[in-house]
Amino acid sequence: MRGEGRWMRMGSLGVLGVILAGAAGGSLWAAEHRPPNVIVVSVDNLGYGDIGPFGSELHRTPNLDRMAAEGMRLTHFYVTSGVCTPSRASLMTGCYPRRVSLHEDHEGGRVLRPVSATGLHPDEVTMAEVLQSAGYATGIFGKWHLGDQSEFLPTRQGFDTFFGIPYSDDMVHTHPRGEELGWPPLPLLRDEAVIEAPVDRNTLVRRCTEEAIAFIEAHRDRPFFVYMPHTMPGSTAAPFASEAFRGRSANGPYGDAVEELDWSLGRVIEALGRLGLDGQTLVIWTSDNGAPRRDPPQGSNAPMAGWGYSTAEGGMRVPCLARWPGVIPAGSTCDELASTLDLLPTVAALAGVEPPRDRHLDGFDIRPLLFGTEGARSPTVAFYYYDGPQLQAVRSGPWKLYLAIDEWVRRPHPAIEPGRPALFDVAVDPGETADRASDHPQVVRMLTALADAARKDLGDLDRPGANQRPAGHVAFPRPLVAEADGVIERSGFEE
């Protein structure tokens, strides 16, 4: 596998890895040494206040309610961007989007679009590759959005199988500029072959759920990693849902989609119980960014300030649940800062492998937080809020500082004034209503110094970071369409 030798086995699992390497398909696991299965569900554009465990009284989410009762709510959990591609890049790599240069596309757009020349660099090490190195079966079921050229597809980034769409569901040929930009009908892929185009978006959550469960059943006898980046509620004004859920909710198509996402989780948890895998499986459920403003508003980021697609709390602080019966304390809450950056180092530790040591990572092993270890504190000293190429804010402890910026790429929300810093205690004021900058000048200075360090390390606007790595690039990108032999072949990868 590409990237072998970048990490090392740890402890007694090193001997086990040698034994397993000789087993057919790595499927003979000693039960007492078997590392946990990992399931990560990341839905699309869902707000902090959109599910029952985080305060929604509008959407019926009994399965998510049950997951919270049997596991942990993480109330200060962040993604690294208010939009899709950069957020997903961090989840996969444990790195800020600017570190892997996926904070924008090759034309300065906020996310990758169909036929983009850029994508996640093949030399980056993903969570799937880390777990694959530990003998895991790996599958992705949903929306990728880290590059639609063959060099960037999930099957080239550590996943054994892919069932889903390569980018956002609204990036279709019928978009007002779709034909002009050369966008094809929305393709559904199995591995690297287009099997339908256009795919019926109403069926994607149901079909991806069924595929994920079939994958779990097929790999029940070995550790597996299932990544479910669901396509809904999605980017369109009227989200999609299967026939069984359309018109059922009290919140129109958006609520229908949320309630189908809850159903999906319930099916997965049910399958784990039926297969006797409940106590062997860590499940993480979250969103890729907050709910964007729609007309009329349908999603809720309450009680956070602002909307998705921004660096306001409502754009980047998302609901997160973690469940692992017998390991994660039932009915618990973690109020410490954590983020998707932490998932790769955490699951690597659970699998008994080192994360990549030949490059800068930005996340931390948060097992003590998940396990409810007494006195556990967040290992994150500073968390950075980027809007595309621009560093806009930094958080340390309870304090979030919006930097004194004269010209914003996009203002986070109307309460932030250009040219002056704004400081909020987001532990008690997630709505960002009381600016405390004048009361705490020493905190402003401390957070400003942390921001200066980020500018040197990660970059800011046109200033490159000292430890920033390139995105992948191809010379002649082509639309992702069905081909006669069912295999996608394109131009070679450009260094």
Catalytic sites, residue numbers: 84, 145
Strand partners, 153: none
Burial of 478 (0-12, 13-18, 19+ CB in 10 A): middle
Cα–Cα distance for residue pair 489/340, rounded to 1 Å: 32
Q: List the one residue out of 73, 70, 81 whose CA is nearest residue 49.
A: 73
Cα–Cα distance for residue pair 63/40, rounded to 1 Å: 16
Q: How many residues does the chain have?
A: 495
Helix-strand-coil percent breakdown of the chain, rounded to 5?
Answer: 25, 20, 55
Q: What residues contact 404, with CB distance under 8 A and at least 6 apart?
A: 419, 420, 421
Q: List the one residue out of 402, 395, 393 whose CA is nearest residue 420.
A: 402
Q: What residues contact 470, with CB distance under 8 A and at least 6 apart?
A: 101, 121
Cite the DSSP H helix spans in 161-294: 178-181, 204-218, 252-274
Tokens of 359: 């490059």
Cα–Cα distance for residue pair 193/118, rounded to 1 Å: 20
Cα–Cα distance for residue pair 384/473, rounded to 1 Å: 26
Residue 13: phi and psi, rounded to 5, are -70, -20
For the four alpha carbons of 178, 182, 185 and 191, in that order, the dihedral sign comes to: negative
Angle between helices 252-274 and 62-70 in degrees, nearest 10: 50
Range 419-428 contact pairs with CB under 8 angstroms and sequence separation of 24 or more? 421/448, 423/399, 423/447, 424/399, 424/400, 425/398, 425/399, 425/400, 426/313, 426/317, 426/395, 426/398, 426/399, 426/400, 427/76, 427/335, 427/397, 427/398, 428/398
Cα–Cα distance for residue pair 448/202, rounded to 1 Å: 46
